[in-house]
Amino acid sequence: MYDKKQSPLSDPSGAERDNPPGAVASDSSPSNLSDSQCPTLDERPAPLASEETTLDIGPAPPADLSAASRPFFEAARGLGPGKIIAGRYEILKVLGEGGMGTVYKANDRELNRVIALKTIRPRLAHDLDIIQRFKQELILARQVTHRNVVRIYDLGEADGIKFITMEYIDGEPLIEVLKRRGKLPPKEAVEIIEKVCVALEAAHAEGVVHRDLKLGNIMQDRQGRVVVMDFGLAHSVELRHTEVEALESLSGDSSAAAAYLSMPGSLIGTPRYMSPEQVKMEEVDGRSDLYTLGLILYELITGQTPFPAQYTIENLLKRAQENPRPLVEVDPQVPRALSNIVAKCLERDREARYQTVEALLNDLERWRKPVTRKVGTWIAVGAAVLLLAGVQFLIQRKATDIQHAPVSVLVADFKNETRDPVFDGTLEPALGTALEGASFITGYNRAQAHKIAAQLQPGMRTLDEPLARLVATREGINEVVSGSISKPGDMYVVQVKTLDPLTGKVLFTSESKSEKKNVLLTVAALTARVRKTLGDTTPESEQMAAAETFTTGSLEAAREYADAQSSLWAGKMDDATQHYLKAVQLDPNMGRAYTGLAVVYLNNKQPQEAKKYFELALSKIDRMSDREKFRTRGVYYAFLGNTEKAIEELTQLVQQYPSDSAGMANLALSYFFRRDMKRALETGRRAVEINPKNVIQRNNVGLYAMYAGDFDAAIREQQVVLQMNPSFGLAYVGTALPQLGQGQNTQAEQTYHRLEQLGPQAASQGAMGLADLALYEGRAGDAIQILDKGIAADLKLKDLDGAASKYVTLGEADLLEGKTSLARAAADKAVASSNDLGVSFRAARIYLAVGENTKSLDVARKLAAKLEPDPQAYAKLIEGEVQLQAGKPRDAIALFEESRKIADTWMGRFDAARAYLDAGAYAEVDSEIEVCLKRRGEATALFLDESPTYHLFPPVYYYLGRAQEGLKSPAAKESYQTFLSMQPNGASPLLADARHRLASH
């Protein structure tokens, strides 16, 4: 919160204090206004409609305070700067008061961090039912873990004071932003609401409905981060006497008014921001939050409420009986499309509103960018394969802006009458990609079309015009484009035509002559004409001005590239590699072929080779078209882990080329790297709906499901992949890991053995998986034997990255066996063989375990020097681990919190739990472990590269038991038993301690 000083107003009692609205509000707001000082409802609500109804804590208790409440009041009144609560929380200053009580800025002296401490109002604190409700809602609120949601720590009691501790936000609430500025530009307001939407999306996914959103509990910090507070903490708002009178006058029935006010759960929330169903005291769901979002967005843009009224009750009744005046009528400068979005949020009938946060977010992003919020998705790399969606000699810089119904097109094989094999399979992908320069045109995947054709007419190798029509009819494709190239003399003649698949009627035909070197330009010209017949209104001159030659001038190189693409889409990595290499031999300046090689090496778990080819591709960036540049840079940033830059590049790609499925799939990959697993999975599924037979996309969906913790779905998707391509190694890894996650250890072992049979590279992956399984079960000796053999095989293949992963895992196994010198040597070999993030981080922890702090910190420095967020975050974890081992848990916690601000990793949560345990903060341990369990899918391969690390997961149950034991919970016994059942024959110190603690229960 901004620590700026203002002269506080004096309340009638003479007490002075700062008073912002909201649970964790800014330090800058004045105290509550008296009735005469309250602004009108159009600016800010009258007392009842204020941001929160408050209880005045002055030097003397209110006259009507009950005897039961008086002790709580006296205890709360004594709080002030310097006061220590629970021997731990030092009050620094009063931040303000809210519907539940007073909010203080405090220092947690045990953990040496600033927090917000919120006392529960004396009128509520003695009510056991209310306290129990708050406890239950706190449990719900703590399930919502998101950077845009304030973090709740604990509910406590000391010296007669009930209080809640939570994250302190260094910023100010939106109500203060609005007071300073009057209103916000529409785009800025929408950007804020989008961040609130993302927070709500996380909450609704956990079944948590906010119920009390308002400008006062949405904070914006100094860096622009937007944070939503009070999830699950529905406030009980008390009507003032004047409002009771207003209700009586409006209803004409004092008994009805009294009954209304006495109903259980009446007016839960803040009246100014209630949905119609809240006003009517009906069942509330996530759509109520969406209504409130509409109210807030309306107010941010116009600076006024959509339901002006003298009294709050009148305001509430209006809301229950009518829709508000359209925003565009209030301010004609507001775009009508945005006004329509707000109006849909504010529909009285919740069935007519947005039904999900995602639907609202889609429309907001579409309006702001503007671009359809389509996102499509093998993780870390598999989706990156989609970057290369076809040979693209000619591209269109400018997608058509004219709205048009979608048109699907299948390009048949051209007749090559020249007898020059360079034209075999070369022109079709060029034409298809150029057609997709029009946003409404979608080209059907030709590799899939060939497979279907082989089923329809076995033995046919050519997708000629009649066969293409059969495929199009079966698949519901709108039009077929066929063509030919001939050489009747010195010139080459290219002809194209479009046909109706059902009737065979020729809808359009055209041809053009050129020299051999200009054939691709001829294709560009003909494509422009085809697009026009399909409904593209972009002038042909503009299309041709935008069209340009691809980065190769060699048709031979283009043919090799086309063959590489076909192999890549089918998951045949070795074949793809050979064709890409031939392409760059024929044309050393062909940047896209280098990118293809980088993708193949990523899929084969060889990041060093991938980096080399990415750098070669980037060295040719100036020869690329805009579309190529966006694709190449986007997937390169995704490879580096720089998700924000990747999203920026790929968003531009999708904005200019909405039909670019590769761009959308890689955008999903970037969401994955940002650890937004839910969105990545949803996006991947959309991609599969568009192209259900694509091996890579289907594998993506399975892996996203695994990371999201949906192990059943992950296994199902990979089974489909293996039916399509039984030799696709990544599908075996994507099957075995979720099998292990479900406790199907034997099945996982069998899957890894099947993987080993596919060849040397697959055998390396299988060995890594089997070692991970052995360590998961506590069989360190077996793991060592597997790893020794696997390392020898990797070194023979000169696969240094594969060997490095096994070396670092070997070091972890040696530690469990008590072989510290061997563990140190394994870590040395690992870091000497690879700069991979996972290898470096795990090696650093081995160094710490054997007392080599200097080496560990050296690794941390190297990681911190990188530009990408993940290496920086893991560097902080290493530094924190050093402090933890030095017996300084508070310093460790501070570093772990810094790491989380950079990237919220699973390991960061796990390390924080261990540090809190050393600090004796058992509630915090429990909270962090809950997150680890919820995000267990991420533990399968911690570094987002599908390299198995699930052997690091079982200790979660040990630390859960420690937290429960510290909280005096009998559930500790079950947690220790679960841990021991995972590793029945293990001999680690944690297992020994768990057995000892279990015996004492």
Tokens for 820, please give them: 């510290």
- 3-class DSSP state of 611: helix
Cα angle vertex 55, ends 54, 60, to 5°? 150
Q: Which residues pair with 113 in a beta bridge?
A: 108
Count of beta carbons in the 10 Å neighbourhood of residue 457: 14
What's at 107, amino acid-wise? N
SS3 labels along 43-94: CCCCHHHCCCCCCCCCCCCCCCCCCCCHHHHHHHHCCCCCCEECCCEEEEEE
- The rounded distance, in Å, linking the Cα atoms of 637 and 598 is 13
φ/ψ (deg, to 5) at 403: -70, 135
Q: Is-contact 894 112, C-beta < 8 A?
A: yes
91: left (phi over 0), alpha (psi -120 to 50) or beta: beta
Short-list 822, 776, 835, CA closest to 988: 776
Which residue stretches of 674-728 are H helix?
Answer: 677-690, 695-707, 711-724
- 3-class DSSP state of 296: helix
What's at 718, amino acid-wise? Q
- DSSP letter at 413 equals P
Q: Is-contact 685 399, C-beta < 8 A?
A: no
- 3-class DSSP state of 919: coil
Short-list 237, 238, 218, 220, CA closest to 228: 218
Tokens for 211, please give them: 């119920």
Q: Which residues pair with 152 in a beta bridge?
A: 166
**Does the annotation count 212 as an active-site position?**
yes
Short-list 609, 611, 604, 659, CA closest to 637: 611
Q: Is 942 exposed, middle or buried (0-12, 13-18, 19+ CB in 10 A)?
A: buried
Tokens for 42, please give them: 């159009």
> Which helix H or strand E contains 327, and what residues bound it?
helix 327-330
Cβ-based neighbours of 541, under 8 Å, separated by 6 or more: none
- 3-class DSSP state of 884: helix
Alpha carbon dihedral 186, 187, 189, 195, in 10-degree steps, equals: 150
> What does each C-alpha distance from 747 to 716, 737, 818 come to in angstroms?
14, 10, 30
Catalytic residue chosen out of the listed positions 18, 27, 108, 212: 212
- The rounded distance, in Å, linking the Cα atoms of 190 and 937 is 33
Count of beta carbons in the 10 Å neighbourhood of residue 818: 12
Count of beta carbons in the 10 Å neighbourhood of residue 539: 11
Alpha carbon dihedral 776, 779, 785, 788, in 10-degree steps, equals: 40
Which residue stretches of 346-463 are H helix?
Answer: 357-368, 427-435, 446-456
Tokens for 38, please give them: 């309250």
Q: Which are the catalytic amino acids?
A: 212
